[in-house]
């Protein structure tokens, strides 16, 4: 048994399934980006549907799934970022403040990529170069955010000596110690 008692359930099954389905659909959209035709479009719509579900779940889901639980005020987020720089940041059982804002950025980026892709398929904007460029640039931005996200996950895993990727698979984490939330 880990120090501090048995592991606690943090990520509910829909958060976990949603996360890995979103990863799979964004990856599949990326690999079908050239000449993927209708496959690419439907995979992109699937990513949009997962994000729509995640937004709903952020309002009515389990405790740690709720936006109100992990979106912190800018001041608290800056305080946390400063603590990261001095290597004194507290551990969070749910998403940490920087991770919380990154989640909003990732969800917004998928929406922006998906909507611009849809726009490109409409009669009015089909073949219009700036729309294609917009879709391409937004996809690049999404990819950069994903890289920073994965970097943050690895960083936090090392800092707090826990495997956050495994936690996103089985849903459990080491219990909070005094002073942790």
Choose the stretch contacting ligand HEM; rule: CB under 6 A; options: 1-9, 73-81, 83-91, 129-137.
129-137
Q: Closer to ligand HEM by CB, 55 or 78: give it.
A: 55
DSSP string across 147-166:
HHHHHHHHHHHHHTTS-HHH
Total chain residues near ligand HEM (CB under 6 A): 42
Structure tokens at 152: 């943050």
Q: Closer to ligand HEM by CB, 85 or 129: give it.
A: 129
Residue 125 CB contacts under 8 Å (≥ 6 apart), including other chains? 119, 131
b/e per residue, 88-106, with b = 16+ CB within 10 A?
ebebbbbbbbbbbbbbeeb
Q: Min. distance of Cβ 24 from ligand HEM in angstroms?
A: 8
Asked if 41 touches ligand HEM (CB under 6 A), the answer is: yes
Choose the stretch contacting ligand HEM; rule: CB under 6 A; options: 1-9, 71-79, 83-91, 109-117.
109-117
CA distances from 140 to 28, 74, 81, 143, 166 (A): 15, 26, 25, 5, 27
- The span from the CA of 106 to the CA of 148, in Å, is 10
Choose the stretch contacting ligand HEM; rule: CB under 6 A; options: 1-9, 76-84, 108-116.
108-116
| Structural contact between residues 131 and 116, judged by C-beta atoms closer than 8 angstroms | yes
Q: Closer to ligand HEM by CB, 45 or 101: give it.
A: 45
Q: Of the candidates 50, 117, 131, 134, which one interacts with ligand HEM according to CB under 6 A?
A: 117
Q: Min. distance of Cβ 134 from ligand HEM in angstroms?
A: 10
Q: Min. distance of Cβ 111 from ligand HEM in angstroms?
A: 9
């Amino acid at each position: 048994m880990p120090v501090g008692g048995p592991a606690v359930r943090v990520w509910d099954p829909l958060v976990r399934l949603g996360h890995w389905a979103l990863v799979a659909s964004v990856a599949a959209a990326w690999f079908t980006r050239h000449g993927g035709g209708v496959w690419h479009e439907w995979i992109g719509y699937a990513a949009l549907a997962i994000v729509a579900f995640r937004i709903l779940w952020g309002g009515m889901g389990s405790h740690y799934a709720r936006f109100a639980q992990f979106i912190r005020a800018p001041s608290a987020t800056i305080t946390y970022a400063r603590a990261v720089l001095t290597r004194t940041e507290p551990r969070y059982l749910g998403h940490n403040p920087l991770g919380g804002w990154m989640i909003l950025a990732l969800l917004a980026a998928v929406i922006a990529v998906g909507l611009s892709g849809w726009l490109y398929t409409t009669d009015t904007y089909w073949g219009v170069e700036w729309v294609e460029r917009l879709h391409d640039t937004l996809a690049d931005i999404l990819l950069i955010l994903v890289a920073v996200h994965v970097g943050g996950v690895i960083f936090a895993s090392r800092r707090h000596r826990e495997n956050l990727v495994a936690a996103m698979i089985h849903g459990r984490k080491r219990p909070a110690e005094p002073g942790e939330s």
